[in-house]
Structure 1
Amino acid sequence: MKKSISILGCGWLGLPLAKAMVKDGFTVKGSTTTTDKCETLLMLNIQPYVLSIDEEIDGNLDHFLQSEILFINVPFRKQKPFLNSYKTLVKAIEKSPIKHVVFISSTAVYADVDGEVTEEENFKVNPAKKDLLLFEDLFKNNKNFNTTIIRFAGLIGGTRNPGNFFKEDKVVQNALTPINLIHLEDCIGIVKTIIHQKKWNTTYNAAATSHPTKANYYTLATKQMGKKPATFIEELTSFKIISNQKLIDELNYTFIYPDLIEALKVFKN
């Protein structure tokens, strides 16, 4: 029987992931918030669904969830109605054939600790992002299906060229802080590895291995595009370094772009 996956959110990450899963022999259902994108999905052998999750869920959710695996990559909002919509989604998953969920979260949940942070349960929470943990808990605490949480660092690759992140007239504070980023191709590779190895009911940090300073990295990225870089205030007030060791150890994953400076070579003007 052909394996199946539903991808909630065919955007910057969801669409290339959907294409990769089709290539791997999966039946793929993909959601979009606009009908304009449906034809594109069909041409890529992705079954399109117009779905939106806001104050309520709009679209044929029950049919969309007729798969074995669900990939969730929808930007969250703090508002209570949005959380309630996710509770509705969880109830729908419970009634569906979905057995496994990959939930995309963010390393923004970690507060600056002036050192390395891991996935351990007793980590210091970033107060501005504590609501994101409520969304994580909705899924990982549910016993009706298996959930793996991936906390991605800052996202680069595809349409996200780091040379465009800071304009010339921008003044950037705390510029000696080490950065935490991950390339799109590694995002896809990690998701695929988790699915193929069936690594469920756990949480992984996903960030490149190197952590150059903000000043060094973004100056190089901007100059590579032939633009004048922003002004970086070379100070170090607070920082965190996202550890990817658990992911490397448990998945035996080899990063495509472990070195962020070297990865700049793939970006074009």
Structure 2
Amino acid sequence: MRNVSVLGCGWLGMSLSISLLDEGYSVKGSTTSEEKLELLEMNNIAPYIVDISSFEEFDDFLHTDILIIAITSKDVDGFENLISQIKNSPVQKVIFISSTSVYGRINKVMTEEDAVLKTPLTEIENLFRENTFFETTIIRFAGLFGDVRQPYNWFKNGRKIPQPKGFVNMIHKEDCIEIIHEIIAQDCWNETFNACSNHHPTRREFYTINKVSNGFDIPEFEDNEVYEWKIISSKKVQEVLDYTFIHDNLLDI
């Protein structure tokens, strides 16, 4: 199980692919942009153009042991076609990158056992969960940050930040990558995991400190009459994988 294909070499997928190469995996990577093929090749990632909405065949890209899906597409039909191709490929294991946006803000701590919203993303999750041809682990990442993606760059141009009394649910790219590595290394399949820092400061506290400490003005916040929040629990991923977060204090970033 040393051959991996990463569907979607964007902000997360590119760094993940490089980290897998460093661990001795053979890596194929996909993009929808012709211009990015050279960048993949420069990083020793076998480059492919894959657009699941095109309904083309991706036989060579899917000639692998493990498929990691890191695209933001919510094209249910495209994913149904992709799954039908995976069924007829050598792929044995799939990691599907999902999001904690599947949970509503219902003012409680959310675990993997809680009900999710009815959205295209949850429909796609179920397509993978219900198949019997390969094993899938679903990771629901919280708000992603790291490298060029920094919270102090969000809510620009005087845009007010909503729900100041709500709580921050975020995860650093390094933790995303390490959790994926642990799932593969520990052969942990047919699971659904939340993945989020254990630290949940209020949105007012977090964005004020993050912006001011990086040279921005104190941000403005909406005065919401309706108080809506959720806190994402990562207890399961920590217990099952014995995982310790690298970046677990969001105010230390």
Matching residue of 2:99:
106
TM-score, normalization: structure 1? 0.90
Matching residue of 1:124:
115
Aligned residues with identical type, % of pairs: 40
How many angstroms apart in 1 are the aligned matches of 2:33 and 2:85? 22
- Is residue 208 of structure 2 the alignment partner of residue 219 of structure 1? yes
Unaligned runs of 5+ in 2: none
Indicate conservation of the 8 Å contact 1:38/1:48, yes or no. Answer: yes
**In the TM superposition, what are the counterparts of 1:201-220 in structure 2 within 5 Å?**
201-220=190-209
Matching residue of 1:24:
23
How many angstroms apart in 2 are the aligned matches of 1:28 and 1:57? 23
For the residue of structure 2 that corresponds to 1:172, the secondary structure is: coil
How many angstroms apart in 2 are the aligned matches of 1:8 and 1:53? 10
How many residues are matched? Answer: 252
**In the TM superposition, what are the counterparts of 1:1-269 in structure 2 within 5 Å?**
3-54=2-53, 56-58=54-56, 61-77=58-74, 82-120=75-113, 123-127=114-118, 130-233=119-222, 237-262=227-252, 264=253
Indicate conservation of the 8 Å contact 1:215/1:234, yes or no. Answer: no
Q: Output one character per residue of 1:225-269: Cα deviation in whole Å (capped at 9) or x when no partner.
A: 21113212466701110000000000001110011111x2xxxxx
Q: Output one character per residue of 1:193-227: Cα deviation in whole Å (capped at 9) or x when no partner.
A: 10111100010000001001111111111112211
For the residue of structure 1 that corresponds to 2:78, the secondary structure is: helix
How many angstroms apart in 1 are the aligned matches of 2:161 and 2:34? 39
RMSD in angstroms over aligned alpha carbons? 1.4
How many angstroms apart in 2 are the aligned matches of 1:158 and 1:173? 24
Matching residue of 1:267:
none
Indicate conservation of the 8 Å contact 1:168/1:228, yes or no. Answer: no
For the residue of structure 2 that corresponds to 1:186, the secondary structure is: helix
Deviation at 1:168, TM superposition (A): 5.0
